[in-house]
Structure 1
Amino acid sequence: MRKPIVLALLVAACLSGCSVKQDAGGGGQQEISFLTFETPNLPPAYWDAAIKRVTEKHPDIKVTKLVAPTTQGRTAYAKQLLQSGQFPDVMIAVDPAGFAEAGNLYDWKPEELTDFEFPQANPIKGGHHQLPANTQTIPPVYYNKKMFADAGITGTPKTWAELLQAADRLKAKGQQPFVIGGGKDGFPASMILTGIISVDVYGKTPDWLTQRRNNKVKFTDADFQAAVAKFADLAAKGYLDKDSVSRDYAATEQAFLDGKGAMYPMGNWFAANADTKKHDFDIGVFNFPSDSGKLVVPAYTGGGMSVNAKSKNLDAAKRFAIAFQTDKGQIDASVKADGLVPAIKGYQMPPDVGPVLKAGYDLYTQAVQQKAIVNSFGWETADDGLLPGLKEKFYAMAQDLVTGRKSAADACAFLDTEWEKAG
């Protein structure tokens, strides 16, 4: 279990004091491949500009951009590339589990991580195979302020009971309480379930998944099954639209922006589009509620670059990765595009970020100050995370719970069975 996150943005030193060296290396131009992914926040133009921003400062590096076929398919795609002998030199937000243990990812050395706030985050077998570049809260709950007001909801829910009351009032007004998705991306179906498990299970037992790895607990145990049952109950009450599980991530986000539902539990990256994309209502945000009202905020620090340990141009790949993650202009672009909280020493967020991003960031800072941060279930990427391949099973399980194909008991038994297969 990683330690609670401390705010990178409270550090006063300027970023220029921790910027990466910009020597060009020896010889001529070195070619590397870079595996990216595209989302509504991160379209092709974002990646093209980001690559150009770095290579202009490192002209000896030539980058070939690769794109994973779906937003959450990048890890599976990286596996395909590895199996076909085309493993990329650099990749971003690819789950290192499995790759690292097999020796396929470069193990970053302490002296290479001095620019990062949390250099010891996400260890796998004692090594560090992904740059700990940013923090994300997963998930806060974004909401349509007009729908809340029309339903007579005067405050944001602090407890699970208050969340159910709000959902009931919205449903009585003919509004869909929650916007969810699924489809080819999978994860939009599981966001609410991630919130419930993180708050209820990790809120009581922060190292629960580490204990699962040590076979001290099971998914069919009472606490975990009770959390899953909460999610199944939302579907049974009609608060979740069963037909929505076929909707991919981009369409899910657009459905919320189009006013097709009142609450949208999603990672804090949504704040960037909430501030910039067209919609005709004000958007608010609140922390995922607990039973008692105790503050428990799921978050994840990591998601950065990994480098192919066997890259032909390993030096160029490492320099590109570090430069991409520590360049002030590039970090500003990523904050505005994807709502990130950079975990880089000395970084300060641009003053012109939007109100939804600012509101979510303020919630995060309060949680840090109150030591209320826990891991976000299903998003961990280290020794305290799900076994390789289990995330996709978790997404599928969430969809089965929404559609009623599985009960809570069946779903938990399914996870235990798949865990044993993966182990």
Structure 2
Amino acid sequence: MASVKTGVVAAATLLTVALAGCTSGGNSSSSSTEGGTVELTMLTFETPNLPATLWDSAIARVEQKVPGVKIKKLVAPNVDRTTYAKQLATSSQLPDVMMAVNPQGFAEGGQLAEFTKDDLKDFASPESGAINGKIYQLPTNAQPQSLLYYNKANFTKAGITTPPKTWAEFLDACAKLKAAGITPIAVGGGGQDTFASMYTWVGTVGTDVYVGDPAFSREIKDGSKTFADPLFAKATDKVAQLAKLGYFDKQGTSRSYADHEKAFRAGSAAMYPMGSWFATSADNDKPPFEVGVFAWPTDDGKAVVPTLTGGGLSVSAKAENVDLAKKFALEWTKDKETSDAFTKADGTFNTIAGYQPPADMGPLFKETLALYNQAVQDKTVTPALSIEQGDNGLPADLTVPIQQIAVELLTGTSDAQAAIAKLDKEYAAVK
């Protein structure tokens, strides 16, 4: 994913990394019903922030704006909707409309419909996520992926007066928390929710690799660099260092994503590396302590914010009526009531030019937004490891292996050297 342009600051902000995909296009999923209505399948995913009722109401509302379309909702079994969409595609059931499914592989294989310049005329960042110069996923959102939400009471108890900005200050804060009997950092990644293991590594790679080399993943792809690159090795060793020092909640990697959040809310650790969607979760359902947020610490103290820009709807090239499917996707994106509902529920921010989030958003959302906007101004928004976008993205098939390697780093069963060797091997197998 390329860094977000400064001009997006007024229009682009937050999003949830966990949206969806759907089932089948073409001969098996779309069908014409009596009266000329076309039924299209749309795969959603559900989280504590995004229940079925939210998806159902949005679908019903947008259906009314697209006469002739009836949506059949499908729910992904977990948040890894890209892998699920691939499984469906192998049996000719690629979803007609897919939300936040990584288009790599699908696009090159001719399975997705291209969005034209006219389709994208109202988007603030219309070229984000391009694959060979073409857009196959609406560049709907920008979403910080690895910020540090923290328990202010824990910091006060440990004698930490201000959030750390440098890596040295961060290590000092972790040491003070541990000395006070408080686990410094919550981690996740249990069961099928291995994505939750990534946020520490996303943070260190953003600060140590992508801020200076936003094209790093392209250099991996063209063979000019490997994951043994000194900067990537340094970022990986930071994660291993935190594990070795005992700063992670070791039970966390056995927890599902939902239980991971519940544990932090219950006081499992002082800091919670997570995407911006947690801001609205905490604003909507306040934990029993005050929560603050700060950017991942850097060596020089300058705030860096790894961010996903994109994550919108894609359309199957084999949908029975591609034009209607694209119209539904565009209307979903442009419908302010839908955008506001997802912003309030999950911290999403629509990047249609001129969109503003609801004025009554909570304080943690506004703090998160301020961090992102400052990073845009400072040009320190970076790609997010494993979910880079478009031509700048690592292969989608690497997503699950890299998450599993992240779990090994968090648990201390792998060090930086072993993790990098395994990652290079996994990359060779999928490229």
Q: Same fold (TM over 0.5)?
A: yes
Shift of 1:103: 0.7
Indicate the residue corresponding to 1:4 in structure 2: 4
Secondary structure at 2:392's aligned position in 1? coil
Name the CA distance, whole Å, in 1 between partners of 2:412 and 2:370.
37
Choose which of 92, 113, 120 in structure 2 pairs with 1:85.
Answer: 92
Indicate the residue corresponding to 1:221 in structure 2: 229
CA contact (8 A) 2:4 2:309 kept: no
Name the CA distance, whole Å, in 1 between partners of 2:8 and 2:54.
24
Shift of 1:405: 2.3
Indicate the residue corresponding to 2:239 in structure 1: 231
Choose which of 303, 312, 333 in structure 2 pairs with 1:304.
Answer: 312
Q: TM-score, normalised by structure 2?
A: 0.92
Shift of 1:7: 5.7
Instruction: State, as a whole percentage, how many aligned pairs show the same letter.
Output: 46
Indicate the residue corresponding to 2:330 in structure 1: 322
- Output the amino acid matched with 2:78: T
How many residues align? The count is: 407
RMSD, aligned α-carbons? 1.3
Secondary structure at 1:69's aligned position in 2? coil
Within the alignment, does 1:101 sit opposite 2:108 as a pair? yes
User: Which deviations, in whole Å up to 9, do the C-alpha atoms of 1:356-387 show, x marking residues without a partner?
Assistant: 00110011111111222111111213111111
Name the CA distance, whole Å, in 1 between partners of 2:56 and 2:5.
31
Secondary structure at 1:271's aligned position in 2? helix
- Output the amino acid matched with 1:169: K
- Output the amino acid matched with 2:300: S
CA contact (8 A) 2:249 2:269 kept: no
Where do residues 114-153 of structure 1 align in structure 2 (5 Å cutoff)? Answer: 114-153=121-160
Name the CA distance, whole Å, in 1 between partners of 2:54 and 2:9.
23
User: Which deviations, in whole Å up to 9, do the C-alpha atoms of 1:257-276 show, x marking residues without a partner?
Assistant: 11211101111111110101
- Output the amino acid matched with 1:28: G
Secondary structure at 2:292's aligned position in 1? strand
Name the CA distance, whole Å, in 2 between partners of 1:311 and 1:6.
36
Name the CA distance, whole Å, in 2 between partners of 1:238 and 1:122.
38
Q: TM-score, normalised by structure 1?
A: 0.94
Where do residues 64-213 of structure 1 align in structure 2 (5 Å cutoff)? Answer: 64-71=72-79, 73-183=80-190, 184-213=192-221
Within the alignment, does 1:250 sit opposite 2:258 as a pair? yes
Aligned in 2, Cα 1:335/1:7: closer, same or farther, shift over 3 Å? farther
Shift of 1:388: 2.5
CA contact (8 A) 2:279 2:368 kept: yes
- Output the amino acid matched with 1:79: K
Secondary structure at 2:396's aligned position in 1? coil
User: Which deviations, in whole Å up to 9, do the C-alpha atoms of 1:283-341 show, x marking residues without a partner?
Assistant: 10001110111232211210000000111121221111101111111111111111123
Range with greater deviation from structure 2 (143-152 or 293-302):
293-302
Indicate the residue corresponding to 2:379 in structure 1: 371
Gapped regions of structure 2 (runs ≥ 5): 12-34
CA contact (8 A) 1:235 1:241 kept: no
CA contact (8 A) 1:7 1:343 kept: no
Shift of 1:173: 1.1
Name the CA distance, whole Å, in 1 between partners of 2:356 and 2:211.
30
Indicate the residue corresponding to 1:266 in structure 2: 274
Indicate the residue corresponding to 1:19 in structure 2: none
User: Which deviations, in whole Å up to 9, do the C-alpha atoms of 1:207-227 show, x marking residues without a partner?
Assistant: 111111111111112211111
- Output the amino acid matched with 2:367: A
User: Which deviations, in whole Å up to 9, do the C-alpha atoms of 1:40-83 show, x marking residues without a partner?
Assistant: 11111111111011012224210000111011x21111011111
User: Which deviations, in whole Å up to 9, do the C-alpha atoms of 1:216-260 show, x marking residues without a partner?
Assistant: 111112211111111011111110122321111111111111121
User: Which deviations, in whole Å up to 9, do the C-alpha atoms of 1:125-147 show, x marking residues without a partner?
Assistant: 22111000010011111001111
Name the CA distance, whole Å, in 2 between partners of 1:375 and 1:402.
21
Shift of 1:88: 1.1
Where do residues 31-70 of structure 1 align in structure 2 (5 Å cutoff)? Answer: 31-70=39-78
- Output the amino acid matched with 2:4: P
